[in-house]
Each structure stands twice: as structure tokens, then as C-alpha cells.
Amino acid sequence: MIIREIAGIQKLQAGGGGHILFVGQTGTGKTLAVERTQEEEHKTGKLMVIIENAKSNLESGFCNLTLQERYKYHLDKLKFQGETPQKKDIKIYHLNNNIPTYKKIPETKIWTMNIKHIDRLLTSYLFEESSESSSISILNTAIERLKDNEGFFDLFMKLKKGDIKAEKDLFSLESKASSINFNTILNYLSRFRDQAILMPNNYEKNLDIVKELGEQKPYHIFSNRYIADSKVRDLATLYLLNEIRKAKAQGLIKREIVIVLDELKTLAPNNPLFNHQKILSKLLTEILSVCRSLGITIIGATQLYGEIDSGVRQSFSEVLLGRTTALSELKEISSIVGFDYSMRQMIMELEFNQFTFLSQEYNRMGTWHFHLPRHAHAERNLVFDRLFEKEYPDKMKNYKDEVKDIMSNFKMQEERVRGSL
């Protein structure tokens, strides 16, 4: 990235966090451009949060590895750029869901959700409704009334106002007051009955985003790679974004924040297959709008501009477009921006790591060629866990006991509530 481009990127984000979307087919250098942009932003003292929503290989973790001879092209390019390799410190986080307990994994902070932080935005997502129905209203009220030591099973007892069946099965109870509302709530929350995810307000493993983002030096990488349930995976991302938004709005985090969302099409597809993806896109649009005014910058990436929900993509102040030969993509972009034939031809002929802005102001500056990041990058057929273990054997951990302790605490909560029946 040359000086003009560094200044340009920073100008985009001046005065309230302009969101930037990188668009490019596989092989265009899209991820490398994102990594160089986040590197430049991190150098200015901003906090770096990277959310990997769907990838099994922790690609963002490669920045913590040494650039070795296998990266000859990368090393030669850095020499040409007049720069030397530089590793990044990282902290890896993962929700307590399907964490492997049969093997060691890279050092990871396992976190749970504070049940009292499940607010209206999150319950709307869980219920797949943008309007506040009676069931959502009842659930929100019940959550607000939970005490600090009360959790998931206490929540069901607060919702329960009728007779109790002899078998004392919390999940087969009939409510005199509102069986329809209770059964509706049960239907949407049943996926959490066997997963220690929603925990009491005073539980020590709950994510304390203010505390975690108290360190500026490392990249904070939130991975969802072990979560099989797509709705829970997206909930983890939404919960994290909501926690950061609320902490920043309350003035609890002073530094500016950059959040990287890779492959936005998995979060907000233009043609969603599931209902929860539809409401998620609306909620993401709302969060992105608020983040802009809070000094939170979102850097997104996707292969095709038209694959992203229209509301979400319009939340990005600037779009950097890499080479594409997809005619349908070019047609859609042209209809939005008004590209003529020569501009469409230029986009089809862009080279590796070359991008052009969709905005008229920056488009006049021509194509932009980004420098490679100074750290290692995920290359094809390279597995992060194997390389991390080779370089940092002491940082490979087995979390069997920790996961067991979390589940034991969850089960004790259930037994305590059952004992009170």
C-alpha cells in the first residue's frame, strides 16, 4: 500500500468510522488487501477485532506465524516494498460450543453468554421477528427479572405459572397463564437446554468485552469454527457485535475499534435459505449504522457484491472492487453505480491485488494496488493448527477439564431448580 493509499484509507474512516467492503473473486488478493488495511489501522492505536464466522481453518491466525521459505513470493515482495516481516500477537476466543476435548488446540479463551445481556435485539433474532410479539415481550421481562445467580433453568421457572407435572420435567410443563406463549418460547430456546451457553450474570466465564479489549497490542480473533448449528454460530457473532456496541456507547471502551467480518455472504446472504438469516440481515444493518456514529469501523469482504443483503451492503461507505468476470455481477454493479462499458472492461482486466473504488470521488484516482501485509498469510493447503503447534508447542492446550467444569455448573443449575419443584 503506497503512501497515497494509506492516507486514502485513513481518510475514508475519519470522522466517525466509515465502513469499507472489499469485493473480489478468489485469487484477486482480496484477503491480502483486507489484512494490509487492518494492519495499517492497528498501527494507529485502534483495537482490532476479527470475527471468523464460518471457516474451519483459522486463517486470521496466520499473522502470528513466522514467514518462512514456503512464502518465498511474499518475502520477495516485502523486500520490494522495503519492509521486513513482522508477526502479530493474537488472542483467540471461542464460544463454549463443541470445543474439541479429545485433542489439544491452540490456546483459546472459552466464553459463555451472560443471559441478562440477551436483550430485545437478540431475542428478536432468536424468535426471527423484527416486531415485538407478546412472547418476545414476556421473555424480555423474565430475563430482566433474573437475579445475578439465576440462569437458563431459572428463566423457565419464572415463565412457568401453572401446575407442575409429577415427573418434574421442566420442558414438558403446561402453563395455565399462557401455554401458547410458553410453548413458543420453549420452541425457540430448546436448542440451549443441553448446551452450557447462556449462564447467570455472575458466572466467571461470561465474556467481559471491556476487559478483553483492554489490550490493544494483540489481534482479538473470535472464531466460531467449532459451532455446527448455524443459528447459534450467527448468534455468537451478533452477541459479540452487540456487546462491543453497548460498551462503546456507554463510554467503557475509549479506543476506536476496527471489526473485520470476512465472507459477509454467510452472515447476510441476499437470498437467504433460513428465516433467521432474514432477520439477522436487518439487525446487522441496524448495528452497522449505529457503529458508524460510535467510532467503530467495519471492514467486510465478499466474493460477489450481489450476494450480500442490499441493506447490509448499503451500510458500507466505500466499496473496493477487485477483478471479476461474472457478467451478472458487473450488470448489477453497473445498475447501481452507473459504470459504462470502458469501466466494466477495466474491472474485468484488473490484476492481482488491484482494486478500484465504486465511489466517484475515489474512482477518479484510478486503480489502487495494495502492498502485501508484513505478516504471514493463509495459503492453500496450509493448516493453521499444525503450523501453530510446530511453532508454539507450549501454547497447545487441552480444554477437556474446563469444558467439563462449565457443563457441571450448568447441570448444577438445573438440579437446583428441579429440587425446588
If you write DSSP's letter for every residue of 397-417 in order, what string do you get? Answer: E--HHHHHHHHHHHHHHHHHH
285 contacts 275 by C-beta, under 8 angstroms: no
- Residue 47 to residue 216: CA distance in whole angstroms: 5
- Residue 229 to residue 192: CA distance in whole angstroms: 11
Beta bridge partners of 308: 269
- Return mean pLDDT, the chain: 86
**pLDDT score recorded for residue 10:** 45
pLDDT tens digits for 300-342? 999 888 889 999 988 998 888 888 777 677 777 776 666 666 7
- Cβ contacts of 182-185, under 8 Å, gap ≥ 24: 184/127, 184/135, 185/135, 185/138, 185/139, 185/159
Please state, for a pLDDT cut of 90, what percent of the chain lies above it.
Answer: 60
User: Residue 17 corresponds to which amino acid?
Assistant: G
pLDDT tens digits for 111-128? 999 999 999 999 999 999
Position 409 in a domain: no
Checking if the pLDDT of 97 tops 90, the result is yes
Alpha carbon separation from 56 to 51, 52, 228, 229, 308 (Å, rounded)? 13, 9, 10, 14, 21
**pLDDT score recorded for residue 398:** 98
Query: Given pLDDT bands bounded at 50, 70 and 90, which one contains residue 372?
Result: very high
- Residue 141 to residue 243: CA distance in whole angstroms: 20
**pLDDT score recorded for residue 347:** 78
Q: Give the residue from 200, 215, 241 where a domain finishes.
A: 200
Checking if the pLDDT of 56 tops 70, the result is yes
Checking if the pLDDT of 26 tops 90, the result is no
Checking if the pLDDT of 8 tops 60, the result is no
- Residue 38 to residue 1: CA distance in whole angstroms: 12
Position 414 in a domain: no
Query: Given pLDDT bands bounded at 50, 70 and 90, which one contains residue 166?
Result: very low
Same domain for 343 and 354, yes or no, is: yes
Domain count, the chain: 2
The set of cell numbers assigned to 110 is: 472459552
User: Residue 86 corresponds to which amino acid?
Assistant: Q
**pLDDT score recorded for residue 115:** 98
Position 420 in a domain: no
- Residue 138 to residue 290: CA distance in whole angstroms: 26
This model's pTM is above 0.85: yes
Beta bridge partners of 110: 94
Q: Give the residue from 181, 200, 219 where a domain finishes.
A: 200
Supply the range of the domain harboring residue 329. Answer: 3-112+205-400
The mean pLDDT of 46-57, rounded to a whole number, is 90
- Residue 143 to residue 96: CA distance in whole angstroms: 21
- Identify the H or E element spanning 354: strand 354-357
CATH code, domain carrying 325: 3.40.50.300
- Residue 368 to residue 354: CA distance in whole angstroms: 6
Same domain for 260 and 196, yes or no, is: no
Checking if the pLDDT of 245 tops 80, the result is yes
The mean pLDDT of 170-196, rounded to a whole number, is 70
- Helix count and strand count (H, E) for the chain: 16, 14
**pLDDT score recorded for residue 98:** 96
**pLDDT score recorded for residue 365:** 55
